[in-house]
Amino acid sequence: MSQGLPVCSGIQLKTTPHKCLHLSVALGKRSLVSHRAFLVRGNKRVCQQASPCPAARATASTVCSTAASSKDYRDRKPEDVHILVAGATGYIGKYVVKELISRGYQVTAFARDKSGVGGKSDQNSTQQELDGASFYFGNVTEQSSVDAAFSKPYDVVISCLASRTGGKKDSWDIDYQATLNLLNAARQNRAAHFVLLSAICVQKPLLEFQHAKLKFEAALQAAGDITYSIVRPTAFFKSLAGQVGIVKKGLPYIMFGDGRSAACKPISEADLASFMAECVSDRSKIDQVLPIGGPGRAWSARDQGEYLFKLLGKQPRLLPVPISIMDGSIAFTDFLVRFFPALEDGAEFSRIGKYYGTESMLVWDSQKKQYDADATPSFGKDTLEEFFRKAMLEDGMKGQDLGDAAIF
């Protein structure tokens, strides 16, 4: 073995369908671990980091683990698997923490001192809400603070971080840089697997937060020494809930154009959290980009408006708004930004509004140049029908803390 590589206590050779030999190392002592796999060609070993072969990584991860023991963490009981969740206080992150705890994992929630929508939760209330987790309170935007979260080893790191505003700078600060800080620390501390909450809309990137997410996805995929699952969900229920109160008051449902230009297969917080937890344990999700929607059909805005009125037993009142209004708003705010740069986020929010009025949250078929509902995988059991029924007729928007970023 070449200079600088650790002594192996376990070696496994495998032949993959595409004829590479993969050598994985499994080391007994954590202090000796260098979490690497090597392609073997003839008698030459090539560091797997330099290889584009994803199967090599998947093979390696089944025999090589770096945290508390020499075994793949997936072979251990959940109570012996340590997971760090960043963005633990977000709409999805909270559910991910709870889901992992219910599956028996050792979960550490990474949160800030004041968290949640409007920063209204202090450390105590965060600890109460995420009962059963351990906590690290720090600042994801500072590498040193993120590094300090790794005072103990983690097998898996999960990021549910996201800009709360979707503004340009905030997107780069959080969706890219803060998440990269987390990846840096995960690699430095030899975590085995990284699960990323991304978004299906990055398939057609037109917005700043989408570019920031894609740049991070690329960094994660290029890392080579840590496996990944990139989860790209369709719309969340909260993103479709904004007009429930409006319709309840008897006002019309507002939609762009005829309300058929965009559709989604919405997924609930609980189902998405469950899917993300599967990414921790399911080997078939190693090194995968995973678009995911909820159960049932795809819903256009018109479908949603009509359904809300049906629940009330009333004739639908739908108010079409021309897309050109958004174009006008974008052009106007872009003009203002030339003189008042501080308004640049306003222009970005107009773009975000137009994007969600015109682009579907479904898998994009690049050959046919259209969105494909059938190609968008479904997961879970919570339906939009039931969510709308409860929101409209029972407990309103309880539990749906929309926040600034309700739509993305």
Ligand X SMILES: NC(=O)c1ccc[n+]([C@@H]2O[C@H](COP(=O)([O-])OP(=O)(O)OC[C@H]3O[C@@H](n4cnc5c(N)ncnc54)[C@H](OP(=O)(O)O)[C@@H]3O)[C@@H](O)[C@H]2O)c1
Give CA separation, 384 vs 146, 263, 341, 392, 398, in Å: 37, 13, 40, 12, 15
Does residue 233 interact with ligand X by CB under 6 A?
A: yes
Residue with tokens 């906590």: 135
Nearest distance from residue 336's CB to ligand X, in Å?
26
Tell me if 157 contacts ligand X by CB under 6 A: no
The sheet with strand 156-159 has its strands ordered as 134-137, 106-111, 82-86, 156-159, 193-197, 227-233, 288-292
For 313, left (φ over 0), alpha (ψ -120 to 50), or beta? left
Question: Does 115 engage in binding with ligand X (CB under 6 A)?
Answer: yes
Give Cβ neighbours of residue 394 (< 8 Å, ≥ 6 apart): none
Q: How far is the CB of 123 from ligand X (least distance, A)?
A: 11
Pairing of strands 253-256, 193-197: unpaired
CB of 365 to ligand X, least distance (A): 19
Strand order in the sheet with 44-47: 10-15, 21-26, 37-41, 44-47
φ, ψ of residue 4 to 5 degrees: the values are 90, -10
Nearer to ligand X, 79 or 142 (CB): 142
Q: What length does the chain have?
A: 408
> Which residues ranging from 6 to 35 are in contact with ligand X (CB under 6 A)?
none
Q: State the residue number with the nearest CB to ligand X.
A: 90
Smaller CB distance to ligand X: residue 51 or 177? 177
CB of 182 to ligand X, least distance (A): 11
Q: Is 197 in the site for ligand X (CB under 6 A)?
A: yes
**Which position among 73, 236, 355, 364 is part of the footprint of ligand X (CB under 6 A)?**
236
State the CB neighbour count (10 A cutoff) for residue 133. Answer: 23
Q: Which stretch binds ligand X (CB under 6 A): 35-43, 68-76, 161-169, 343-351?
A: 161-169
- Report the distance separating Cα 182 and Cα 81, nearest Å: 19
* Residue closest to 233 by CA, chosen among 377, 51, 88: 377
Q: What is the dihedral of CA 306, 308, 309, 312, to 10 degrees?
A: 150
Judged by CB under 6 A, which stretch of 48-56, 58-66, 231-239, 249-257 contacts ligand X?
A: 231-239
Regarding 205 and contact with ligand X (CB under 6 A), the answer is no
Q: Rule CB under 6 A: is residue 400 a binding residue for ligand X?
A: no
- The structure tokens 């991070």 sit at 216
The reply to whether 116 sits near ligand X by the rule CB under 6 A is: yes
Tell me the closest approach of the beta carbon of residue 47 to ligand X, in angstroms. Answer: 32
CB of 114 to ligand X, least distance (A): 7
Residue 360 interacts with ligand X (CB under 6 A)?
A: no
Q: Which residue number, 94 or 285, has a Cβ lying nearer to ligand X?
A: 94
Task: Tell me: does residue 66 bind ligand X (CB under 6 A).
Answer: no
Minimum CB separation of residue 218 from ligand X in Å reads 16
Q: Which stretch binds ligand X (CB under 6 A): 21-29, 55-63, 154-162, 366-374?
A: 154-162
The site map against ligand X for 88-107 (x = CB under 6 A) is -xxxxx--------------
Q: How far is the CB of 231 from ligand X (least distance, A)?
A: 9
Binding piece for ligand X, criterion CB under 6 A, among 56-64, 232-240, 252-260, 371-379:
232-240
Output the smallest distance, CB 406 to ligand X, in A. Answer: 7
Residue from 239, 274, 333, 360 that binds ligand X (CB under 6 A)?
Answer: 239
Residue written as tokens 């600890």? 127
Decide: is 168 part of the binding site for ligand X (CB under 6 A): no
200 Cβ neighbours under 8 A, 6+ residues apart: 232, 233, 234, 291, 292, 293, 361, 362, 363, 376
Residue in 403, 360, 337, 358 with CA at minimum distance from that of residue 168: 337
244 sits near ligand X (criterion: CB under 6 A): no
Distance, C-alpha 321 to centroid of its chain: 31
Which CB atom, from 205 or from 257, has the smaller least distance to ligand X? 205
Q: Which residues bind ligand X (CB under 6 A)?
A: 87, 89-93, 112, 115-116, 140-141, 160-164, 174, 197, 199, 233, 235-236, 239, 403, 405, 407-408
